[in-house]
Amino acid sequence: QLRIGYYANTTCPNAEKIVGDAVANKYNQTFVTVPATIRLFFHDCFVEGCDASVIIASTGNNTAEKDNPDNISLAGDGFDTVIKAKAAVDAVHGCTNKVSCADILAIATRDAIQLSGGPHYEVELGRLDGLTSTAASVEGKLPKPTFDLNQLNSLFANNGLSQSDMIALSAAHTVGVSHCNRFADRIYSNPVDPTLNKTYATELQSMCPKNVDPDIAINMDMNTPRIFDNMYYKNLLQGEGLFTSDQVLFTDSRSKPLVIAWANSSPAFQAAFVDAITKMGRIGVKTGKNGNIRRDCAVFN
């Protein structure tokens, strides 16, 4: 039921352009727009499908997804991007309450990837917004940075995504930041995680000393932190994957060949990424009675 150009023949034919302009404005204010929006889309799709359930705010009688510990570190700029784009859409005659928050997030993610030098692709649209969002529903649905290949594969398989989709999507860690506690076990274990490049491990220790301020976050891709490129895989070849879940893609012989292939070919990586994120965008899509178009992306109608 999703399709490219979904809004073209509706009362809001310029929906994608309006969202695109809002995302570009936000991007000009802060680069964080890019990683924050991409990660928000991922965390949305993996919990209850791509239905903007992650954007719902908690209320007195409901603790929403965004307040689950796995979502607390989602950067506010991702939410803000969707809220701003929604306001821009709703301000246009004919568009008011015609474009779902879930679709706005899908479009904004596509645009964020392109703005930071990643591939451009046509985005499938036609999702409705979900009708539930609970912190409890997040449990076990998102991957942990300590995961090994089997754990990554099974969690992605639960969402209809293959090992190669998982390897491609992991490259989103080519932009954005991580807090020190996510990988502290790797650099402060004895011995230090042997799959880590020694120089890199020392750098990480100096950027993330043992009693570091928990708010400190460091670039996940030290080389091109603001470019959506295949440097993610090149880093893995050097032992510079930040999380266990990153580096395992190179150390496990089952995933290693694709890591090498995509480190060596940006076009091959880009094609695989577009394919994988398009598939991710189809997870658990809501239609008919299962959803609606929210007036306020953070509040159920």
Q: Which residues are catalytic?
A: 43
Query: Which residue type does 184 have?
Result: A
Examine residue 169 and tell whether it contacts ligand HEM (CB under 6 A).
Answer: yes
Q: Which of 132, 178, 197, 265 binds ligand HEM (CB under 6 A)?
A: 178
Is 287 marked as a binding-site residue?
no
Binding ligand HEM (rule: CB under 6 A), the pick from 6, 27, 39, 130 is 39
Binding mask 29-58 for Ca ion (x = CB under 5 A): ---------------x--xx--x-x-----
Please give the Cα distance from 127 to 106 (Å, whole number): 9
How far are the Cα atoms of 113, 195, 211 from residue 252, in angstroms, in the given order? 28, 11, 32
Q: Give the other-Cβ count within 10 Å of 79's Cβ.
A: 20
85 binds Ca ion (CB under 5 A): no
The enclosing H or E element of 209 equals: none
C-alpha–C-alpha distance, residues 282 and 260, integer Å: 28
2-24 burial string, b = 16+ CB within 10 Å, else e? beeebbeeeebeebbebbbebbe
Task: Look at residue 236 and give the partner it binds from Ca ion, ligand HEM, none, a contact being a CB closer than 5 to 8 Å depending on partner kind.
Answer: none
Residue 96 beta carbon to Ca ion: minimum distance, rounded to whole angstroms: 24
Q: Are 42 and 73 in contact (CB under 8 A)?
A: no
- Does 5 engage in binding with ligand HEM (CB under 6 A)? no
Measured from the CB atom, the residue of 172 and 298 that comes closer to ligand HEM is 172
Evaluate the CA torsion angle 264, 269, 272, 277 in order and state its sign. positive
103 binds Ca ion (CB under 5 A): no
Q: For residue 282, what is the enclosing H or E element?
A: none
Return the residue of 231, 242, 263, 274 that touches Ca ion, per CB under 5 A: 231
- Asked whether the beta carbons of 103 and 127 are under 8 A apart, the reply is yes
Annotated binding-site residues read: 44, 47, 49, 51, 53, 65, 143, 173-174, 221, 224, 229
Annotated binding-site residues for heme b read: 173
Binding site for ligand HEM (CB under 6 A): 35-36, 38-39, 42, 73, 75, 143-145, 147, 152, 169-170, 172-173, 175-179, 182, 217, 243, 245
Annotated binding-site residues for substrate read: 143
